[in-house]
Amino acid sequence: MYNSIQDTLIIGKKVIYLPSCHSTNDIAAEIVHAGLFTEGTVVITDHQLSGRGQRGTSWFANPGQNLTFSIVLTPAFLPIQNQFLISQTVALGIKAYLEKYISGVQIKWPNDILVGGKKICGILIENAIQGSKLNTSIVGIGLNINQMNFENDLATSLFIETGGELSLGDEFAALMRCLDAAYLQLRGGNRFTEIRRAYMGSLYGYAQEVKFSYKDRVYTGTVTGVDELGQLSVRLSNGEELTDLGIKEISWIRS
């Protein structure tokens, strides 16, 4: 079902398919540790038993209905202090793929993907640093394609949004092409400002009031920026600025 992609330059040239596994990120890490990979290798499964999300959460997807995979990257060209650009690049690549079907796609900081305020994709990036270099990045992606029912009403899928079932193999190939194009922009080295600007322009809460929890209190505010390290800045409705926020310090409240 999931073939190697012949017309990409890096991502998807080698595809490892497992009918089921505990975690594609863990399998990818094992392959990296063994040295049995080339950059852009993809590990994909129909049934992930122990998928992980941000903040130590779990990622659940109905078997055989969605795309659940991990990509191995070796972005040694990227300074360690700029590693959040990987998250931004991947999120923008997925957004470009989704916009072939639907509009109103947003990125929820740091890198979940929303459609109409509902989560359609989760991303987990695990970077390995060796000395002063960014050695490998394992990019785990769970994208809802054909799933119709979810445990809560804050999730959606392409089937729900478009009203039609899609071929997982075809959508996998299309997504790999978008991710490859986005990664090639990053590797070019002169598009960092453009990538950051596009990410900000797509960000949930940017130039719009949203609710969030911070230090056990609920606030209303707008996102004003994301720095090179991926830390968030928010202006509260009373004018106060919160800066240098990390991933575990703030939780979005969506109705």
pLDDT-flagged residues of the chain (< 50): 54-56
Q: State residue 56's pLDDT score.
A: 47
Same domain? For 34 and 68 the reply is yes
Sign (positive or negative) of CA dihedral 232, 101, 185, 73: positive
| Pair 186, 227 in one domain | no
pLDDT given for residue 49 in this prediction: 84
Do 53 and 122 meet the contact criterion of CB atoms below 8 Å apart?
A: yes
Which pLDDT does position 205 carry in this prediction?
A: 96
Q: What is the per-residue pLDDT across 87-108, written as a single tens digit (0 to 9) for each?
A: 999 999 999 999 999 999 999 9
CB 147 within 8 A of CB 162: no
9 is a domain residue = no
Give the range of the structural domain holding residue 29, as residue numbers without chain letter.
Answer: 15-201
Q: Is residue 92 part of a domain?
A: yes
Here the CATH number for the domain that contains residue 131 is 3.30.930.10
CA 32 to chain CA centroid, nearest Å: 20
Read off the amino acid at residue 187.
R
Q: Phi and psi of 227, rounded to 5°?
A: -85, 180
Number of domains comprising the chain: 2
Q: What is the pLDDT of residue 140?
A: 97
Given this model, what pLDDT does residue 59 score? 53
Q: pLDDT value at position 222?
A: 97
Task: Let me know if residue 133 belongs to a domain.
Answer: yes
Please state whether the peptide bond connecting residue 63 to the residue before it is cis, i.e. omega within 30 degrees of 0: no
